[in-house]
Amino acid sequence: MMYRFLVLNGPNLGALGIRQPEIYGPQGMDAVPEIVLDLLGPRSTQVYLDFFQSNHEGVLLDKLEQAHHEKQDGIVFNAGAYTHTSLALADCLAWIQVPCVEVHISNVFSRESLRQQSMLARHTVGVISGFGMLGYALAVQALVHHCDKIR
């Protein structure tokens, strides 16, 4: 069984690896495929990842809708600061009904109270927070497990 997942990143996440490494770590998104490969092992050959990042909310909405129309199997979504503020992204996740795992590199629950609120979480399969770039691989693994159950 082959799975196609969109790995979608919001504002400021294009600067991973150089942006506040004390919070987000020294790795950029280019490290994720190898981390996924290591975690999934032989199952990694059954997963195709499409990476996309934008600082613009409307572009992220367009990409979510595109994932729906292209019948992507799942979405790994780090919406950055939009997680805490975007009713538009939450509404989109609600209607597209593509399984989604919300990811945060830092442990948002140990940060400012505003970052502990998610507009998106209720429309996701689950939330992974605080495991650095490994969180993306854990989200992919969770989506594979979820998709295996529903097929």
Report residue 107 as tokens. 């442990």
Whether residue 56 lies in the annotated active site? no
Whether residue 68 lies in the annotated active site? no
Catalytic residue of the set 48, 56, 68, 104: 104
The three-state secondary structure class of 10 is coil
- For residue 35, what are the contacts with CB-CB under 8 A and spacing of at least 6? 133, 134, 136, 137
Measured from the Cβ of residue 127, the count of other Cβ atoms closer than 10 Å reads: 18
Which of 5, 47, 13 minimizes the C-alpha distance to 29? Answer: 13
Q: Annotated catalytic sites, by residue?
A: 24, 104
